[in-house]
């Protein structure tokens, strides 16, 4: 049997989501040739944006406002990105960091919503919001088209992570196992979308087939 500590798994998913989203925000600011301060602001808003919206919607205190460590971590990540050669961070790293954050944060968001008594369907949506809103904020701040309307799968991967997590819980699987499986499945789908530009069936007109 798996003997994970539930609280630890959930905390790690949370920090993984915050950290890699903060990284993707800092990378965006560096590409825009902004100062260290602006890079820290991007790291923070991208890192905590999705979770902040989730907490506001479910009526929880916003998680990073009283917990000083979280903003310090976001700023430290910005500092690391800013003081290292850009080629370390080149290629598709931003996309892969975003994929890890998406999967981890979606599962975590659903788990937190359920802990606050939100019913399953809105809890699933809270997971998707937690996973997607940070990236949307980053893209809107940067003035680039929001990641969720690019041709590849994005929101769907977040929904898979949250939905599989809920399904496994409902089937009686333990929380840590369900969380890890859900996050891995969401990451795999998003990763496949990045790697092979994989697309699930998008809308095609039943009549014209276009």
3 touching its own copies, by CB under 8 A: no
Residue 150 vs residues 100, 136, 139, 141: alpha-carbon distances, Å:
18, 12, 12, 17
Pick from 59, 91, 172, 196: which binds its own copies (CB under 8 A)? 59
How far is the C-alpha of 145 from the C-alpha of 132, rounded, in Å? 14
Can residue 85 be called a binding residue for its own copies (CB under 8 A)?
yes
Site for its own copies in 171-200 (CB under 8 A): 199-200
CB of 210 vs its own copies, minimal distance in Å = 8
- x/- contact string, 104-123, with its own copies (CB under 8 A)? -------------xxxxxx-
Contact 124, 182 (CB under 8 A): no
The correct pick among 108, 154, 165, 187 for binding its own copies (CB under 8 A) is: 154
The residue from 12, 15, 16, 32 that contacts its own copies (CB under 8 A) is: 32
For the chain, the farthest-separated pair of C-alpha atoms sits apart, in whole angstroms, at 56
Closest by CA to 135, choosing from 193, 198, 48, is 48
CB of 169 to its own copies, least distance (A): 17
Cβ(109)–Cβ(122) below 8 Å = no
Which of helix, strand or coil describes residue 146? coil
Q: How far is the CB of 5 from its own copies (least distance, A)?
A: 27
Smallest CA-to-CA distance from 88 within 27, 6, 134 is with 27
Residue 117 tokens, joined: 């008594």
Q: Which residues bind its own copies (CB under 8 A)?
A: 29-30, 32-39, 41, 44, 52, 56-59, 61-62, 64-66, 68, 71-72, 82-87, 117-122, 125-126, 128, 132, 136, 140-143, 145-146, 148-149, 151, 153-156, 159, 199-203, 205-208
């Amino acid at each position: 049997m798996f003997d994970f500590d539930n609280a630890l798994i959930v905390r790690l998913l949370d920090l993984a989501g915050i950290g890699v989203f903060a990284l993707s925000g800092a990378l965006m600011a560096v590409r825009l040739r902004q100062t260290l301060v602006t890079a820290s602001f991007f790291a923070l808003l991208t890192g905590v944006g999705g979770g902040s919206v989730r907490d506001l919607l479910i009526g929880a205190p916003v998680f990073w406002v009283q917990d000083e460590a979280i903003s310090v971590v976001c700023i430290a990540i910005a500092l690391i990105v800013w003081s290292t050669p850009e080629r370390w961070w080149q290629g598709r790293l931003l996309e892969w960091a975003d994929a890890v954050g998406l999967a981890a944060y979606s599962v975590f968001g659903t788990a937190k919503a359920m802990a606050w008594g939100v019913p399953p369907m809105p809890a699933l949506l809270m997971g998707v919001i937690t996973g997607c809103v940070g990236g949307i904020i980053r893209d809107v701040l940067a003035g680039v088209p929001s990641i969720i309307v690019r041709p590849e799968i994005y929101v769907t991967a977040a929904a898979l992570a949250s939905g599989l997590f809920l399904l496994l819980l409902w089937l009686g699987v333990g929380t840590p196992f369900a969380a890890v499986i859900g996050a891995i499945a969401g990451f795999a789908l998003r990763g496949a979308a990045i790697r092979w530009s994989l697309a699930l069936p998008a809308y095609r007109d039943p009549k014209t087939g276009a």
